[in-house]
């Protein structure tokens, strides 16, 4: 059975992971929108994305903003973390395809991310993929708000997934 300290640690790791993705996606989306024409040109120059460039130039930053906003809300956090994983997986697959199949490699990343070389960018994306997987795996099944006057949650999930009252549990 999980102790209260383990629950707090899981919550902390998940919260930090959410903040990492909020900052990443908000920064990337704003960078792309501020340099919209440059972003559009880079997408049209991509040997893989040329036919989809006119759609992706809008979809990618909007999706990044929506995921960042969803990560702020407790109700949508798990879904947003799955979307973060999916988007990072697509970005990583794109890098792998470009590195292996294309002689010309345009970077359509925003801000300081475009300063990374492709191998560093691949490592960066893989680290973010691992963070998203870890976050999904440790996602608190029952995530009650902990007030200042409350040192422990009222409920927890046992091994079978049943919610139990802490007053009856061994935490007391």
Q: Is pLDDT above 60 for 156?
A: no
Q: Report pLDDT for 172.
A: 43
| Strand 163-165 versus strand 155-157 pairing type | antiparallel
Percentage of the chain surpassing pLDDT 90? 48
- Please state which of the ranges 41-45, 60-64, 124-128, 164-168 shows the lowest mean pLDDT: 164-168
Q: Report pLDDT for 69.
A: 97
Closest CA to 141 of 160, 128, 126, 123: 160
For the chain, the farthest-separated pair of C-alpha atoms sits apart, in whole angstroms, at: 65
Q: Is pLDDT above 80 for 87?
A: yes
Phi/psi at 41 (5° precision):
-60, -45
Please compute the mean of the pLDDT values over residues 35-55 and round it to a whole number: 89
Please compute the mean of the pLDDT values over residues 79-92 and round it to a whole number: 96
Q: Is pLDDT above 60 for 145?
A: no
* C-beta atoms surrounding 59 within 10 Å: 11
Q: Is pLDDT above 50 for 170?
A: no
| 140 in Cβ contact with 7 (< 8 Å) | yes
């Amino acid at each position: 059975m999980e102790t209260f300290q383990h629950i707090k640690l899981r919550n902390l790791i998940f919260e930090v992971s959410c903040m990492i993705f909020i900052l990443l996606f908000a920064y990337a989306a704003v960078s792309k929108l501020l340099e919209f024409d440059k972003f559009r040109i880079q997408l049209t120059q991509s040997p893989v994305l040329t036919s989809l460039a006119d759609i992706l130039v809008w979809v990618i930053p909007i999706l990044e903003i929506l995921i960042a906003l969803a990560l702020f809300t407790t109700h949508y956090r798990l879904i947003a973390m799955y979307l973060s994983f999916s988007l990072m997986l697509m970005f990583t697959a794109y890098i792998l395809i470009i590195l292996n199949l294309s002689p010309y490699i345009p970077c359509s990343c925003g801000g300081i991310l475009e300063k990374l070389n492709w191998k560093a960018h691949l490592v960066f994306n893989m680290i973010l993929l691992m963070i998203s997987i870890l976050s999904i795996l440790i996602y608190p099944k029952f995530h009650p708000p902990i007030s200042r006057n409350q040192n422990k949650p009222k409920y927890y999930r046992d091994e079978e997934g049943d919610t139990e009252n802490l007053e009856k549990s061994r935490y007391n």
